[in-house]
Amino acid sequence: MTTAGNNEKSSKLEAAATGKLNLIQDLGQEIVALRQRERERERERERI
């Protein structure tokens, strides 16, 4: 494969990896938000 072909393939793989990393980060943030909401609900239940 040519250097240009390798570079193009590498760029596509990097873009895919970056997209997956962003998705993982987004999911992590969503998990944190869900845990915070759950803790708030627990506190609310304890007050009642």
DSSP annotation of 15 reads H
pTM of the model: 0.70
User: How confident is the model over 32-45, as pLDDT tens digits?
Assistant: 999 999 999 999 99
- Distance CA(40)–CA(48), nearest Å, equals 13
Cα–Cα–Cα angle for 9, 5, 10, rounded to 5 degrees: 25
Q: Determine the pLDDT at residue 27.
A: 99
What 3-state class would DSSP assign to 1? coil
